[in-house]
Structure 1
Amino acid sequence: MPTKLMLIFVGMDLLFAGCGGLLLGFSLTSEQRLRETPTIDNVTQNLLLGQCPLTGGVVNSIFIFATFLLSLPALFLPTNRGWLRTQGWLVMFCAIFTLGLGLAVWVETLQTRAALGLIWTRETPLIQSLLQQKFNCCGYFNATSPPFQQDGTCINTLVAAQKGGCIAAVSSFSNRYLDLIFTAAFGIVGVDIILVLLVAMVLQYRQEQERYRHIDEKNGLGGL
C-alpha cells in the first residue's frame, strides 16, 4: 500500500513533467508566432518574444522530460536509493537552468525603455507603424526622435506632436507581459525545489526502512 509520502511524491513528479510540457509548448508556440505575418494584435508580443530565450526553454524542457523518465525506476523499485539520488541532482540542475531563464527575462524588465528604444530604431517602417496604430502614438520618445511613420494614426506632423511618443505605452505593456513570463518561470523553479525536498524525504524514509530491515534480520525476523 503506497504511503502518503509516496503519493505526494508521485503527484509532484507528474507536476514536474507537466511543467516541462508547459515550457516546451510555450517555447514552440512562441517560435511559431514569430514566423507569422505581423499584425496590430501580435506585433508587440512578437517583439518581446524575440528577446526571450526560447531555444533555452526547449532545451530545458528536454532535460525536464529526461529527468522525469529517469525517475520512473525510483518509483517502481521501492528499496532503491541510487535512482532517487540521480533524480535529485538532475532536478536541481533543471531548477538552476529554469532560474537562469527567468532571470534573463527579469533583467529585460529592468532595462525595458532603453532596450525597446534600440529595437524600435532597427525595426522596419511597417513594424513601427503597427506599434503606432496599436498604442495610438507617434514615434518612440516623441514624434521626431526617432521620426514617426506616417500612417492612419499619425497623419501629419501636427497630429503626431499632439499624440506624443510610444515609450510609456509600449514600456508598460512590455513590463506586464514579461512579468507573466518570468513569474511563470520562477513558479516552475518552486515546483522543482518542492520535488527536491520530497526526494530527500523519500530517501530518508527508504534509508530508515533499510535500517529496520537489517535490525529485523539480526533479530531473526527477516522472514516475517
Structure 2
Amino acid sequence: MLWVLLATCVLPSGGDGPLVTSTSSTAPPAVNGTCNFARGYRYISIGAAGGISSSSCSASWDLHEVEAFTSNGRRVTMSASSSSGWDSGYPPSKAVDGDTSTFWAGDHDVGMSCSCWDDSKKDGQILTLDLGSNQQVTQLNLYQGGSGNDWAVKRVRLHCHDALPFSSSSDEPLEIDVSAGVTFILCSGQGCTTALSPAYYDTCKGVGAKLAGGLAAVLAMLVLL
C-alpha cells in the first residue's frame, strides 16, 4: 500500500512560489569584464541560470521572443543561433521572428527542471543573438510566455562578445532574475537595471513547497490507515 500511495505523489507542473514585493531589480554595476551591451557588441548570448518549474528532468527552456533597441528607439534586426542545440521544430530563429506565440526550445537532454537543477547546468541551454555589426543596445526585452508557463527559467546570464565561438568561462556575465512574462533590461554607461512584468517569483521554491505538501498529504493518509 505504501508504494502505491507514494507513486501517486508526483512533482507539480506549475510554479506558484512567493511573489517578490518589487517589480524591478538592479543588476550588478558596470565594471570591466561585465556584460553591458550599451558599450557596443555584435553578439549577446543569453544562458539559462536557474531551473524551470516543469516536473520533468528532460524538460527544456522555452524562450518566446527577444527584442533589442538602440538609444534612439530603433529596433535591431538580428538572427539567432544556439551552440547548445534545440528541440526539433523549435529552432533559435523562433525567438527573433517577431511572434511571441512561437518559441525556441532548448535541447531537452540538458534537464532544466528545478527538481534536478544544479549550478553546473548554467549556460547548459544558451541562445546567441547576432546583431549583424557592433551595436550599442540600450534595451533588451525577453518574453517567456507568461505566468504559469512551466518552461520559463527564473534567472539568466548575459554574455557580451565580439566573436564566435566564445567561452562562457572566460567572461564575467551579467546574471539577473527574470519574469515568467516579460523582462525589460535597460543599460547605459552607468550599468543595467531590469523591470519585470509580472513580478519575479522563484519557481523552484514553488516546486519544493508543492512537493513537501504532497508528501505531507501522503503521510497523513498513512496515519489514517
Please give the TM-score of this superposition, normalised by the length of structure 1.
0.30
| TM-score, normalised with respect to structure 2 | 0.30
The structure with more strand, counted as a fraction of residues: 2
Name the larger-Rg structure: 1
If asked which structure has higher relative contact order (CA below 8 Å, sep 6+), I would say: 2
